[in-house]
Each structure stands twice: as structure tokens, then as C-alpha cells.
Amino acid sequence: MTAAVVAGLLAGYGIAIPVGAVGAYLVAVTARAGWRTGAGAALGVATADGLYALVAVAGGSALVPVLTPVTTPLRWISAAVLVVLGVRAGRAALAAYRTGGLASRDDGGALTPARAYLTFLGITVLNPMTVVYFAALVLATGPSAPATPAARTAFVLAALLASASWQLLLALGGALLGRTLTSARGRLTTALASSTLIVVLAVRLVVSG
């Protein structure tokens, strides 16, 4: 059981720590909308990672050949969604700056914690490489792979916990960033910088694939 927990923690951190477009968007959303919304978004990402870990231990090796033909289209869809979100965030920040709306914490996105959870869950689910990653790790462990229902449950919960803790840490960073932005110009600069980073990382997602 301990081995399954350790394996799950390592797998969860391994998939969560590399900060990509979703991570950058998570930080930006939290900086604009506050900790509660950012926490909702973070838990959405972690839920998707947990679901894919569950799929992997339940038979991910059988799904890899099925997922392989659609990884590229889904990667393009994920990148397109992230680009749209990044551009919309930048435009909203510009519009709010012109009307004086950036004097408040939220730039007009009206993203509630529940909506943030569902949005980030959807974005993360669009990345089928996550289940391939978890399946590869499970297969690589050979005989020591979690085989019993208890061990598999422990692996999935540990992966979920690891992902959640990292995503919440990113959200905390975004919340602290938001608190340091006291001027409308500072908020605008950060919003535009984060939107640009999101678009660049989303394009990289496709190019690197």
C-alpha cells in the first residue's frame, strides 16, 4: 500500500509540476479573481489528473492504442481553447482599463469558483497525453504496479492529492501576485503579460507535439 501511495505521489507531481499554458492561466485567473476562484480552478485541474490516473490503473494500457490517433486533434483543440481564453482575458483587461474597471480585483470576467472548476476541468481533460503518461508509469513498474483494488485506489488518491497540492500552490502564487498589484496600470501589464504567455505556451503545445 505504501509503495502505491509513493508511486501515486510521484506520478501526480510529475504530471503537475511542469508549468504549461494551463498553469499560467491558473495563476492569471487567481491574480484577477482572487483565491476562491483560483482554488476552484486548481481543483478542476487536479480532478482531471485524478480521473486520468483512475483510467490508467483501470486499463490504460488498452486505451493507449485507442487514444494515439486522436492525440493530435485533441492537442490542437486544447491549444485553440487556451489561445481564445488568453486573447479574451487580454481584451477584457484592456476594456476594463479604459473604463477604470481595473481599479477593482476582478477585470470583468465574472468567473465564479464553480465556473472556474468546470472550465479548468474541461481544459485539462482535453489533454489525453495525461492518461498515456499515467499508463506508461503503471506499466513501467511491472510486477510492483498497483494490482489490488486497494492499491489502485491508493495510487489514484495519492496522484490526485499531489496534483491538487501543486495546483493550489500555483493558485496561492497568483493570489499573492494579485495582492501586490495596487495600480490599474500594474494590473493591465500583468494581465497582458499573462495572456501573451498563455498564447505562446498554447502554440508551443502544438509545435512540440
Q: Is 151 exposed, middle or buried (0-12, 13-18, 19+ CB in 10 A)?
A: buried
Q: Identify the pLDDT of residue 108.
A: 43
Residue 13 falls in which region: left (phi positive, over 0), alpha (psi -120 to 50) or beta: alpha
- All three cell numbers of 80: 485553440
Average pLDDT over residues 27-50: 91
pTM metric for this prediction: 0.73
Q: Which residue is associated with the grid cell 509545435?
A: 207
pLDDT at 140 exceeding the cut of 60: no
Average pLDDT over residues 189-204: 74
Measure CA of the first residue to CA of the last residue in the chain; give whole Å.
Answer: 35
Count the alpha carbons within 13 Å of 94 in the hemisphere toward its beta carbon: 9
What is the tally of structural domains in the chain?
1
Q: Identify the pLDDT of residue 149.
A: 80
Q: Identify the pLDDT of residue 36.
A: 93
Domain that holds residue 135: 2-207
Average pLDDT over residues 38-51: 94
Distance CA 135, CA 71 (A): 15
